[in-house]
């Protein structure tokens, strides 16, 4: 338990009322539309108090896992016959930012997790958007342990997002976005709070963070990378930054039951169409891999797997990179 959870229940009640009110409002809005939600305003205001009075909240841990064809992804292992070129892969680094993690009920109501404030892996913050205050959440997942081929200097791993939701028993889906809140994406990594203070996940002030960083060694010593980030960005943080492609894919997965299911990232599925032996020719394609550029030929088969664009395999399918297990 973090220090925040050691506070007395009474000292947290007011904050929970506000957060649960917002959660209830978003759930009604998703199910009834804005006009319908307005007609149920009294319910929105009263429901959180009733939930708390009845003990109607619970802590959930959304579990994530990295795999290769059902095997755990490890830094001290090699994986054979990956991709169109049937290449041997080794992991070098794998981290990702997820934001807006929410559980979805059978009736379509959506309830974002009220994140536990652990001061390291996940946080909630308030951002200004179009003159209004919005609550945003962000967490970092880290699947490499700094051992073996993963010489990253970061031995800690983190594979879950923990928070509070109303205590319903009919959650059947989960939703999250691979990315960083746009209002935080172009901050200086040296001046921000965890989990955004990780230099290896930062690209530049203009382009912002790497939302997903996956580095592998393909066929011996040849590196291959998949870095998900904003593209076509111009401007500076002090005057404003505009990006032609934010590249933040929202993933909705059906069949997710809290406490029973987990979200899997399967590298064999991600790279199923990748030809590692003929990527990055140093001229028309200078980098072996995908850096989220619109004109990068290797991104065509990878971006759809993280909820961007369109392609033969999209998140959620049994043979997809991101799926429920």
Find the length of the chain. Answer: 325
- The strand ranges marked E within 201-262 are 202-204, 208-218, 222-229, 231-236, 240-245, 249-254
Dump the DSSP string for 265-315: EEHHHHTTT--GGG---SSSS-SSEE-S-TT-GGGTTTGGGGTSS--SS-T
Q: What is the mean pLDDT of residues 182-191?
A: 91
186 has pLDDT over 70: yes
| Crossing angle (nearest 10°) for helices 9-39 and 41-53 | 150
Q: Are 185 and 208 in contact (CB under 8 A)?
A: yes
Output the pLDDT for position 6.
33
**190-206 b/e (C-beta count within 10 Å ≥ 16 → b):** eebeebbbbeebbbebe
User: pLDDT by residue (tens digit) across 85-97?
Assistant: 999 999 999 999 9
pLDDT score, position 157: 97
Nearest to 208 by CA among 223, 222, 229: 229
Q: What are phi and psi of 254, to 5 degrees?
A: -85, 165
b/e per residue 272-282 (b: at least 16 CB within 10 A): bbbebeebbee
Among 20, 65, 60, residue whose Cα is nearest residue 325: 65
Tokens standing for 240?
């404003």
Instruction: Report d(CA 104, CA 39) in Å as an integer.
Output: 22
pLDDT of residue 163: 97
pLDDT at 153: 86
Task: Supply the pTM of this predicted model.
Answer: 0.83
Residue the block writes with tokens 């809140």: 181
């Amino acid at each position: 338990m973090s220090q925040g959870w050691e506070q007395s229940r009474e000292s947290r009640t007011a904050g929970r009322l506000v957060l649960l009110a917002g959660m209830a409002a978003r759930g009604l809005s998703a199910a009834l539309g804005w006009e319908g939600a307005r007609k149920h305003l009294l319910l929105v205001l009263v429901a959180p108090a009733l939930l708390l009075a009845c003990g109607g909240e619970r802590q959930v841990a959304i579990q994530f896992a990295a795999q290769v064809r059902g095997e755990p992804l490890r830094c001290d292992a090699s994986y054979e016959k990956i991709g169109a070129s049937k290449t041997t892969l080794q992991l070098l680094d794998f981290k990702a930012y997820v934001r807006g993690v929410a559980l979805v009920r059978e009736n379509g109501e959506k309830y974002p997790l009220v994140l536990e404030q652990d001061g390291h892996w996940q946080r909630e913050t308030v951002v200004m958007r179009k003159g209004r205050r919005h609550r945003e959440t962000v967490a970092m997942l880290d699947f490499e342990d700094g051992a073996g081929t993963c010489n990253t200097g970061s031995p800690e791993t983190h594979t879950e997002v923990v928070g509070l939701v109303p205590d319903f028993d009919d959650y059947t889906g989960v939703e999250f976005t691979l990315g960083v809140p746009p209002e935080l994406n172009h901050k200086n990594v040296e001046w921000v709070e965890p989990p955004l203070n990780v230099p290896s996940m930062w690209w530049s002030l203009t382009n912002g963070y790497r939302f997903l960083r996956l580095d592998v060694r393909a066929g011996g010593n040849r590196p291959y990378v998949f870095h998900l980030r904003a593209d076509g960005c111009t401007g500076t943080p002090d005057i404003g930054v505009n990006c032609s492609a934010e590249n933040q894919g929202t993933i909705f997965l059906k069949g997710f039951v809290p406490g029973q299911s987990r979200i899997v990232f399967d590298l064999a599925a991600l790279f199923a169409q990748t030809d590692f032996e003929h990527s990055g020719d140093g001229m028309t394609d200078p980098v072996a891999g995908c850096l989220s550029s619109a004109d990068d030929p290797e991104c065509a088969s990878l971006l759809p797997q993280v909820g961007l664009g369109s392609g033969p395999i999209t998140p959620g399918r049994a043979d997809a990179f991101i799926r429920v297990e």
